[in-house]
Structure 1
C-alpha cells in the first residue's frame, strides 16, 4: 500500500510528548461539524472515568488520508493508543503482524457476541478466533438525501425514488440548482457507484461482484446498465464544484442542490444545521428502489504498547465504547445506528427509524470493506474518481476496466 502522500500529515501527530498511563491519544478522521459533535461524546465519557484523559488526534482530509497516517505511524514504531478504522479488512495486515492489542478477554467478559447486532460486525473484528477491535456503529452508504427547499424553489414534488429524481433534474437546473451534489474525493465516487449498483443492479448482483468476486457478473449486461446510469448521474453532478463530502451535504442543506448520495453520517450535518427529517429533508434508503442497508461502520483498534498501565486504560476505553449510554449518545449525533440491539433510541429521527426498521427486517448487506481487500478497494476508488471527473471516459470503457479489477480481486 502506498501512503507517501499521507505522510506529510504526520508531523503534528508525531510531536506528542510522553504520556502518563491514563492519557490516551486517539486518532480518527471525524472533523466535520456533525462528526466532531459525535466523537466529543466518546471523549466526554472517557474523561469522566477516574484519572483518564482522551487526547484527541483528529486527522483532516478524510479516511483515505487518515488511514495512511495511522498505518504509517504504527509501522514506524510511533503508535497511537487507540484509532478509528472501518471494521473489516483494513487492519488485516496489522493484526497479522502482531501490532494490535488482543481484546478477546474483555469481549468474552462483556458478552460482546450476544450484544453486537448483527454479529457479523464482531466477526469483522475477529482474526483466528481472537477479537482485535470494538465496533461502535453501523453506517450504511445506501441513502439519497433530498432538499425540500430545492424542490420547492423548482416547483416540483420531492422525488420518492431514483427515476423520479432523474426526471426532476431539468426543473432543478432551470431553477439554478445542481441536481446531484458530489464531492471530488475518490471514496465518494466509489461509494456512490456502490449505492447505484445495489439499488439499480440489485443486491444479488452486488453480492456476486463484491463478495464472490464473480468476473462474469462484473462483465455482465446488468453491470453495463449500472455504468450507463452512473454516466447519467455524472452529468447531473457537473455543477457540483466541491471536494469534501460535508460541503456537498451543505449544498443540500442550503437548497443549492436537489440531492446527494451519501452514507447516513450525513444526518449529523443536518442535525448541526437544526434541520428536521421529513420537514426540511427527505431520506431514501436504497435510492427508493431497493430498501436495504449495508452494515459497515467504524471500529476502534488499540495498537500494542509496552506499558501495562496504558494497556489497562486501553481496555477500559474499549469497554466504555460499547456501554449503552455511550452507544446512544454517540450514535444519535453521528447519524449512525448503534451496534447494540438493546438500547433505547426513542429520540431517533425519522431517517434513523427507517434504518432501524430495515436492520430489524434483516434486509442487509455487508460493507465493501468487509469483503474487499484494501488493495482492491483502492483500485476501484481510483477508477471511479477518474470516471466521475473525466467525461471522455465512456461507461463502456470504465465498465471494462472495472471488470478487469474484479477478475483479479482478492
Structure 2
C-alpha cells in the first residue's frame, strides 16, 4: 500500500478504462449519532465508485478539529480531503497554494447552474477559481422544543421566543431546565447570533457582522438583544453539559424544554426515533424572523503530488454534490441540499419549513462568511465569558462587543 503523508493511496481492483481504486483519508468533526449516520452516506457513495473512504473523524467541534487539520496540511502531512465551514476558514491555505483548484471539476459538473444560493459557491471561490465543494446548507436560526416537557409543566408549546421566555418559571417549577446549552465556545456565540437575527432583524445582523457597524452594535436596537441573552443565560444556568449533542439529548429526553441550535440537531432527534411536529417542535428564527442562514459545510482537497490520489479527489468531489448523494446525506444530517434540482419528498416537517423559507429567498450569510476567523474567536471568547459569569452585565457585554466590531477586519 502506497502512502502519501498519512493519506493512503492503494492500487487495487481496476475501475475500468485503466482507473485504479484509491483509499482517501477524509477528515471531519462529525461524530455525534446523527452526524455519523449522515457521513456514512458520503462513505457509501464514494465506496460505490470502487475507491475507499478512510474515515478521519476528529472528536469535538470544528474549533477543536480545524487547528489539527491545518497543522497537518501546513506541516506537509495532508489528508486527501477535509471539512471546513463555508467562508474564510481555509482562505490562508488557499492563498498559500496548499489547496487543490477544483474549477475543472466544477465546470464539468455545471456547479454554477445547480448550486443555490450562488453565495455558497462564491464562498469557495478566490480570484475566480473554485477551491471547495459545498455539501449542505446549515442554518443556526432554530429553537428546538420538547413537547413532553411543556405538557409536564402544564403550559402550551410556545410559538415564539417571547412565549418561551415567559414559560421559564413554570418549567423550573416542574423541575425542567428551560434552556439546554453546552459549554463549547461556539454554542454561546450561536445563541447570541440567533437572538440578534430574531429580535433585531436580519438587516441589523448583516450590518453588524458584514458592515462592521459599531454604532449599531453598541446602540439601543441591540440592547434588547443583550437583555434577551442575559435572560437566556439565566434559563440555561443549570445546563451542565459540554457538547451540543448532549444538550440536544436533554431536550429529547424532556430534561430540558428547549435548545437554540442549528438544524443539525434534527439528526439527533431522528436517531432517537422522534417525529417532527409530534414529539418535538421546531421554530425557525425563534418564531419571530424566519430566515435561513446560508452557511454550512464544504470540503477542500489539499494538493498531493500523486496522480491516483488527484483523480480520486475529483471523483469524491463529484460524488458529494451528485443529486443522489445530496438527498441521502442531507436527509440524515438535518440540513438542506446545496442543489436546487433535487427531489425532497421525504423531507419531514422541520426540513419543509426550511425549504419553504429558502424558496422565499429569506436568507442571510453565515458569520464565517462575514467575519475573519480571528474576529470570530474574539466574539466567541466574549460570549463564553458572558454566559459563564453572571456578574457581567448586558451593558458591559454590549460595550465589549461593539469594540470588537469596530476593530474587525
Q: TM-score, normalised by structure 1?
A: 0.95
Q: CA deviation at 1:91?
A: 0.4
Q: Which residue of 1 aligns with 2:27?
A: 27
Q: Deviations over 1:203-239 (max 9, x none)?
A: 1110110011111111111112211110011000011
Q: CA deviation at 1:15?
A: 9.2
Q: What CA distance in whole angstroms lies between the structure 1 residues aligned with 2:203 and 2:100? A: 36
Q: CA deviation at 1:17?
A: 7.2
Tell me the SS of whatever aligns to 1:158.
Answer: coil
1:36 aligns with 2:26: no
Q: What CA distance in whole angstroms lies between the structure 1 residues aligned with 2:274 and 2:259? A: 16
Aligned residues of 2:86 and 2:120 also touching (Cα < 8 A): yes
Aligned residues of 2:7 and 2:24 also touching (Cα < 8 A): no
Q: What CA distance in whole angstroms lies between the structure 2 residues aligned with 1:37 and 1:110? A: 26
Q: Which residue of 2 aligns with 1:9?
A: none
Q: Which residue of 1 aligns with 2:354?
A: 355
Tell me the SS of whatever aligns to 2:69.
Answer: helix
Aligned residues of 2:7 and 2:80 also touching (Cα < 8 A): no
Q: What CA distance in whole angstroms lies between the structure 1 residues aligned with 2:101 and 2:311? A: 12
Aligned residues of 2:8 and 2:24 also touching (Cα < 8 A): no
Q: Which residue of 1 aligns with 2:85?
A: 86
Return 5+ residue gaps in structure 2 as ranges.
12-21
Q: What CA distance in whole angstroms lies between the structure 2 residues aligned with 1:217 and 1:156? A: 36
Q: CA deviation at 1:19?
A: 3.2
> How many residue pairs end up in the alignment?
396
1:51-66 alignment runs, 5 A limit = 52-66=51-65
Q: What CA distance in whole angstroms lies between the structure 2 residues aligned with 1:89 and 1:15? A: 25
Q: Which residue of 2 aligns with 1:266?
A: 265
Q: What CA distance in whole angstroms lies between the structure 1 residues aligned with 2:209 and 2:8? A: 43
1:226 aligns with 2:225: yes
Q: What CA distance in whole angstroms lies between the structure 2 residues aligned with 1:63 and 1:47? A: 25
Q: What CA distance in whole angstroms lies between the structure 2 residues aligned with 1:89 and 1:18? A: 28
Aligned residues of 2:5 and 2:79 also touching (Cα < 8 A): no
Q: What CA distance in whole angstroms lies between the structure 1 residues aligned with 2:165 and 2:334? A: 26
1:166-205 alignment runs, 5 A limit = 166-205=165-204
Aligned residues of 2:182 and 2:241 also touching (Cα < 8 A): yes
Q: Structure 1 103/192 Cα, relative in aligned 2: closer, same or farther at 3 Å?
A: same
Tell me the SS of whatever aligns to 1:26.
Answer: strand
The alignment's C-alpha RMSD in Å is 1.1
Q: What CA distance in whole angstroms lies between the structure 2 residues aligned with 1:136 and 1:112? A: 11
Return 5+ residue gaps in structure 1 as ranges.
1-13
1:9-408 alignment runs, 5 A limit = 16=6, 18-20=8-10, 22-50=22-50, 52-408=51-407
Aligned residues of 2:136 and 2:330 also touching (Cα < 8 A): yes
Q: Deviations over 1:43-98 (max 9, x none)?
A: 01111112x11000000011100011111111111110000100110000000000
Q: Deviations over 1:323-363 (max 9, x none)?
A: 01000000000000000011110010000000000000001
Aligned residues of 2:34 and 2:268 also touching (Cα < 8 A): yes
Q: Which residue of 1 aligns with 2:16?
A: none
Q: Which residue of 2 aligns with 1:10?
A: none
Q: CA deviation at 1:20?
A: 2.1
Tell me the SS of whatever aligns to 1:204.
Answer: helix
Aligned residues of 2:9 and 2:308 also touching (Cα < 8 A): no
Deviates more, 1:179-188 or 1:215-224: 215-224
Q: TM-score, normalised by structure 2?
A: 0.96
Q: CA deviation at 1:18?
A: 4.7
Q: What CA distance in whole angstroms lies between the structure 1 residues aligned with 2:182 and 2:24? A: 33
Tell me the SS of whatever aligns to 1:105.
Answer: helix
